[in-house]
Amino acid sequence: MTGSTKLYIVGVVKAILHVNSRNVVIVAAHPDDEVLGCGGTISKLIKSGHRVILLYLSSGDSQEERREKEALRVCDFFQISSHYFLRLKGPSFKVSSPNIQKVIRIFKLITPTLVYINHDQESDYEHRIAFQLVTESYWRYNHQVSFEKRAMGIVLYEVHRLLLTHNLVEDISAEMDTKMKAMSLYHSQLKSTRWDLAIKGLNQYRGRLHNQMKFAEVFQVKILNSILPYLHY
């Protein structure tokens, strides 16, 4: 893919998000992934007038009730009213027809414009399954609905392993405090590892690499099939 094509893709995403009242689905393999990967962007989207919906595929293999309560606090903090828990766990967390249908049913309720999910090279096995499940559901959903209801693209974010390449950078300098406050609500996930400090350092590093932003989140716009059908790569 040429540099000009990459710029065009990013321009399309920016144009999509320039229009208010888009439905944007943030899919998290587990509660806290959404804040780590794109908490600053979530805040920006909401402030820009978009409707953000959170879809949690799993509530974890332990402390499920506690993690869901923490996720609900995060939703309240961001003022997100629409959220879904699929509660996939252990052997049930897989790419299967029943799970694909569960995701598609939610997509049909929401009619998303963009879908955010972690990238496919994550070190966490369930994150990689999440990517496969969501992308397969995305394609099937778009083939089942009319053109005007199709999702326009998938945007990949980083959690446990850095994106090797990215083509979208979001300046979250004004949102970093909000992101850190949201992350602090996941008490159960900060006991053994200070993920909040780790992600702050990563976002600062990403920002310094791009026009000296103070903090940034980076993404890979992977699929824009409804607009650019020849760019399925």
pLDDT, position 219: 96
- Residue 70 pLDDT > 60: yes
Write the CATH number for 36.
Answer: 3.40.50.10320
Residue 232 lies in a domain: no
Pick from 10-24, 111-125, 135-149: least confident: 10-24
Give the integer Cα–Cα distance in Å for 145 and 167. 28
pTM to 2 decimal places: 0.90
Those residues whose C-beta lies under 8 Å from the C-beta of residue 36, and which sit 6 or more positions away, are 159, 183, 195, 199
- Structural domain boundaries, residue 127: 3-223
Q: What confidence score (pLDDT) does residue 225 get?
A: 58
Burial level of 67, CB count in 10 A (0-12/13-18/19+)?
buried
Output the pLDDT for position 63: 86
Decide if pLDDT at 104 tops 80: yes
Q: Which residues contact 190 (CB under 8 A, 6 or more apart)?
A: 183, 184, 196
Assigned domain for 228 exists: no
229 domain residue, yes or no: no
34 and 199 in contact (C-beta within 8 Å)? no
Q: What local confidence, expressed as pLDDT, does residue 81 receive?
A: 85
What pLDDT does 230 receive? 32
Does residue 75 sit within a domain?
yes
- Note whether residue 22 is domain-resident: yes
Q: Worst-scoring range by mean pLDDT, 20-34, 87-101, 106-120?
A: 20-34
**Bridge partners of 26?**
54, 116
Specify the number of domains making up the chain: 1
The dihedral built from the CA positions of residue 163, 167, 169 and 170, taken in this order, carries a sign that is negative
Residue 84 lies in a domain: yes
Three-state SS string over 43-66 comes to: HHHHHCCCEEEEEECCCCCCCHHH
Question: Is 176 part of any domain?
Answer: yes
Q: Is 155 strand, coil or helix?
A: strand
Report the distance separating Cα 115 and Cα 143, nearest Å: 16
Residue pLDDT, tens place only, 167-217: 999 999 999 999 999 999 998 877 778 888 999 999 999 999 988 899 999
